[in-house]
Amino acid sequence: MRSRTGISLLAAAFMTPLALANGNGPNSSDELDNISLPALRTDASVSFKPGHGFRVDGGDEYSLNLTNRIQAGWRYSNLDMGQDQMTFYGRRVRSELSGHVFGKETRYFIQLEWASGGGNTLDTYIEQDLWSNDEWSLIGRAGQMKPLYGKEATGWGTYLFFTERSLAARTLTSEGRVLGGLAELRGMDDHFFAHLGIFNAGYAGGSAFNSGFWQQNSDNEMNYTVGARYEFGENMGDLWFAQGDLDRSEELRASIHGNLWIGNERATAGGQTGDVDVFAFNVGGAVKTGGISGLAEYFGWSGDPDFNAGANNDQGANGFNVQVTYTADANWGFGGRVSMVSVDAPATLGGTGGNLMTIQSAGGLGGGTTLAGKGDVTEFSLGVSRFFNAHDRKLQADITFQNTDPSGGGGSQDNIIFRVLATLSI
């Protein structure tokens, strides 16, 4: 799961036949289209497209797409009750391998993250066509993946309009992955999608029992999700949902979605360990037309702890995100966003203190303050982006005004976070 050697060998294996086929002499071509790979098979070809990487096409039996993405950022935080912070950081450095094998009905996807210690496996799943007729199809997915809970959380981070996901998405969903299986029903001319999943990892980024990135839960509890979305017009996608109307299409595209999450978790808070039953839901929608785009989501969360002794207080949280963006003809983008999370988490669990839900700051160091107990956090963001090649090559900058308002005292805090992020897909 954390091997640099494996990806190095893969890269070497991939590039060696390419070099042999393309040659290094004076008659070699700079074009990579339709290069023959006799060392592999006579009818295979390799192509390259900036922003989309390399593709090995072996017809119906095999394909491999290899892409890389780099996101490098700079962040400055002016904290009301803390020392100002400034830092450079690697937000995402990722390699993706995807394609099909044996037939186009059997697909695979692998994504590795190099910015967080190196070699961390984000996604690794198999997708299989299970059944279809003239109107409907059923696919299955198994492995480590996103659970399709929340539209902003589901879409890849490369396709965000702002440098970070909204406060609500960070706290009440998770950028991490979950292990398990998922089935999705598709139909109505690619307008209706419904999914059912079973996993063994929590989804909430702000919950105290969330296992975080790339980690399997240490307990045997299962979690379940069910959801659906409907696309009015051209399908805007789920994992590949790109924020902003960069195409400036005059055709109206819109979607609505809803999700339920039933969680069974083990948590440690206040020095005690126990079971926590979670019920959560998410509803929202997105729209794009003429360079204008909008995204709105609402989240609800409730946790029912059953600890070893003492009081077991129910806890709850809710939040929302609303953003509007506009992309001009010259590929400049402008946007505004407001997001809020409210936590109703009692100060005690089992009489010893601790909470099951906290508010998740963005980007670690310099991401603002968290809220460990009851209270509200609100963020207003303004952003500007220069899209050189859509989301594949862009420069983003945004400023966020964050207010934390704890219910239990301690005083309100006002923080200002400024971020700049450069993205390049190779």
Measured CA to CA in angstroms, residue 340 lies from 349, 351, 375, 402 at distances of 25, 29, 11, 10
Q: Considering only CA atoms, which of 80, 114, 167 is closest in space to residue 4?
A: 114
Domain boundaries, the chain: 50-425
Q: Using CA atoms, how far apart are residues 19 and 40, in angstroms rounded to an integer?
A: 13
- Residue 47: name the closest of 202, 58, 404, 414 by CA: 58
Looking at residue 19, its pLDDT comes to: 43
Could you tell me the pLDDT band of residue 222, with boundaries at 50, 70 and 90?
Answer: confident
End-to-end CA distance of the chain: 23
pLDDT digits (tens, 9 = 90+) for 97-148: 999 999 999 999 999 988 866 557 889 999 999 999 999 999 999 999 999 9
Place 7 in a pLDDT band, splitting at 50, 70 and 90: very low
At 12, the pLDDT band (50, 70, 90 cuts) reads very low
**Homologous superfamily assigned to 50-425:** Porin (2.40.160.10)
Both tokens assigned to 182:
């998922």
Strand spans (E) along 133-165: 136-145
Q: Where are the alpha helices (DSSP H) in 248-333?
A: none
Radius of gyration, alpha carbons of the chain: 23
β partners of residue 317: 301, 343
pTM for the structure as a whole? 0.86
Cα dihedral: 84, 80, 356, 364 (round 10): -20
Residues ≥6 apart with Cβ < 8 Å to 331: 246, 386, 387, 388
Place 8 in a pLDDT band, splitting at 50, 70 and 90.
very low
User: Mean pLDDT over residues 225-242, rounded?
Assistant: 95
> Cα–Cα distance between 263 and 59 in angstroms, integer?
42
Average pLDDT, rounded, for the chain:
84
pLDDT band at 309 (very low <50, low <70, confident <90, very high): low
- Best-predicted range by mean pLDDT among 112-116, 144-148, 266-270, 342-346? 144-148
**Whole-angstrom distance, CA of residue 145 vs CA of residue 124:** 7
In which element (H, E) is residue 68 found?
Answer: strand 63-78
pLDDT of residue 120: 78
Burial of 175 (0-12, 13-18, 19+ CB in 10 A): middle
> Comparing 308 with 200, which gets the higher pLDDT?
200
